[in-house]
Amino acid sequence: MHFLMILLTLTIAYVVRQLAPTVTRKLAFFNFLFPPLLLLTTAVAIASMGPNGKMLGLQATWFSYYLACAYLLIVMSLLIKLGYQAWVQTQKISTYPQIYLFNQPVYLLETDFPYCAQIGVWRSQIILTQGLLDLLNPEELKAVLAHEQAHQLYHDNFWFFWLSWLRNSTPWLPHGESLWQELLLWRELRADAWGVQQVGGLAIAEALLKVAQKVHNYLLSKPQLTFSVELSDGNNQRLEQRIDALLSDYPREGQLKWYLSGIIASLLPILTILLHH
């Protein structure tokens, strides 16, 4: 019976992901979260029930038990790996000089490449480069800081750490990358929306355009470099969506509350423990 649970879970997870391109943006969280969480809770349920006993009259097997335990071992190893990588990053930026930019502590990286990001998990820190300081004027720098402060306010690094774990634990599920990009866009739009309330949309849009042009020129001059930067992959769709939103009245993005449905639905396999005897 446990093996049938595994097959059913795999089928449901695959079908939900396969339908991802046909759903709206508000369902992106559900389509992203539900399949890997369903697989995880199914493995937890089977491992908890053990290889002995029966469920709905069918005998449990050692094969399904070992399969569930192996999957849990893999995903937990991946979690430890990601946690270690995050810790190493945090330790590394502490070696960089710290400056105060408009009363905001930031770590400065001495490179001419314009870049700004959050490093850390729960209490993330802002890191930016000398290239960004040289490129933007004070008003635009304030806009960049406002955007980054929004990420800190929402603890985006913390939540996307766990989302990244789920993403990496099921790389074989379809449409994982497109859903991930959709969530990244939603995260940036939400941070932009908060920044607009602080400094206005025009300053953020101008800073974004300046950085985009600089990155484009930088990569043309050094084509051997491959940065994982939003604007360096030749796909400007996300940039255009952000700028359009910044220069409009900025309608608030949907709250994507469907992620709660995904979490609740994925817990259903835990209830099967009650059927095990």
Instruction: Name the nearest CA neighbour of 207 among 148, 124, 120.
Output: 148
Residue range 206-233, pLDDT digits in tens: 888 888 888 777 766 665 444 444 444 4
pLDDT for position 24: 64
Taking residues 186-211, report their average pLDDT: 86
pLDDT tops 70 at residue 89 = yes
pLDDT for position 232: 43
Residue range 26-84, pLDDT digits in tens: 677 888 888 998 899 888 888 887 766 555 555 567 678 888 899 999 999 999 999 99
State the pTM of this model.
Answer: 0.82
pLDDT for position 14: 86
Amino acid found at 94: S
Query: Tokens 């469907």 belong to which residue?
Result: 258
pLDDT for position 163: 93
pLDDT for position 168: 93
pLDDT band at 273 (very low <50, low <70, confident <90, very high): low
